[in-house]
Structure 1
């Protein structure tokens, strides 16, 4: 097993370090206050800035970018970081737009990141950023499963997604030891009650299928379009089966945490 050191920068952005390999997820480093448009009349304002400045980051080996089309997953300062990484793994559509060092992965496609201590397998996993038929509006999104070649256990990043058949299939195809869940129950006034990311109830349902050892919520604070913060998640997990309830762990914003045997 491999220990993982993870720092929650804010929103969906985390720095994941293992065996000297540094991965950055969905880089968002703009200051708070700006209003971002998300298409089709939807918009949101960033309310909390990153806990770390972009300049404070160590050299990044790979950026795991779930999608490039929304400012709460890739903003101006985050976009400026991409060329310095060895590789940017993302959706095929995003790779076409970004060019350069971006590599697009289709769902269930696997690539390898080599480094001094060995190799890390990265598999793209299905994600749907809204209700059925919403992809034409919200665009494609991907999750990422990280795995050592000699181990079956995965560190899984869901990406921005609602619970759907693709996520349920992850439970049948992967042994998820650690799950980084994008939550927040995203909604916009222009589309009423329609949700574009998981809520607490869906998170519990997904974890009942996965039975991960550790559950790490992200993407629940710092933006006006996030409609569920920490308290609803804690209430939902409090009534879940013991194995699911005990897996929930909150990452402090800005402080690194070492997770033993996370991968």
Structure 2
């Protein structure tokens, strides 16, 4: 049985301590208050700061960056941290923009993290779509990540990335046994695009989890920005109506505090 420590820093940013490795997802460390443009008339204001500063993290072996072009997933302070990480795994287009220690993974490509004295971790890029069909020119490329290492009991640790529920995400359920799901929620929306949502809503998250059947679900990236349309209360209300004890699989990490998860 393997224990993993997941510390929710804020937004999509988590520190995953697994198998002797320290992995950081989507670094965001800017203070609150600033409004960031996302392109095509969309923008969002950061309303909450990180629970930990980047100077409190300690060494980072790898950054798992779902996408580099939205500030709620990589902000100014987070970008400054990237050169100090051992490697940055992200989308192919993102690696081209970032250069340096960034490496791009196409969907279902795998990168193997290896180091003497530690078990290897296989990082597999998984499909993600940050909005409705035909939205890619607006939202750009996004990826999720599946982490696999020796000793996992329940299945891979999967990071959804900013995505809606679509065929590519359903493929994750068909191809992988997911033990722990780090889900980006929030039902992102913008005034200019009306009812269109760009990340998982509560109802879609429940539908996805009924397909995945993960042992543990860790929700992240559902608050702290003005573009979120659904917070924790909405998700919990939907879970209260879900069958099969799904609600009991959800654990809400307290920002800044490590959550122990059996994988």
Answer yes or no: same fold by TM over 0.5: yes
Partner of 1:170: 172
CA distance in 1, matches of 2:171, 2:236: 25
Is contact 1:108–1:124 with CA below 8 Å preserved after alignment?
yes
- Tell me the alpha carbon deviations over residues 5-52 of structure 1, each in whole angstroms, 9 at most, x when there is no partner: 010000000000013210000000000000000000101100000000
Unaligned residue ranges in structure 1 (runs of 5+): none
Displacement of 1:241 after TM fit? Answer: 1.8
Greater mean alpha carbon deviation, residues 144-153 or residues 243-252: 144-153
CA distance in 2, matches of 1:191, 1:80: 32
SS at 1:242 equivalent? coil
Structure 1 residue runs of 4 or more that deviate by more than 3 Å after TM superposition: 149-152
Q: Give the superposed CA RMSD.
A: 1.1
Displacement of 1:237 after TM fit? Answer: 1.1
Partner of 2:252: 250
Partner of 1:130: 131
Partner of 1:227: 229
User: Is 1:39–2:44 an aligned residue pair?
Assistant: no
TM superposition score normalised by structure 2:
0.97
Partner of 1:97: 97
Is contact 1:211–1:243 with CA below 8 Å preserved after alignment?
no
Correspondence list, 1:103-252, <5 A: 103-115=103-115, 116-149=117-150, 151=152, 153-252=155-254
SS at 1:184 equivalent? coil
CA distance in 1, matches of 2:106, 2:151: 23
Displacement of 1:150 after TM fit? Answer: 6.2
Is contact 2:2–2:151 with CA below 8 Å preserved after alignment?
no
CA distance in 2, matches of 1:157, 1:129: 14
CA distance in 2, matches of 1:131, 1:212: 25
- Tell me the alpha carbon deviations over residues 195-239 of structure 1, each in whole angstroms, 9 at most, x when there is no partner: 110000000000000100001110001000011100011011111
- Tell me the alpha carbon deviations over residues 139-174 of structure 1, each in whole angstroms, 9 at most, x when there is no partner: 000000001156581000000000000111111100
TM superposition score normalised by structure 1:
0.97
Aligned residue-pair number: 261
CA distance in 2, matches of 1:107, 1:2: 27
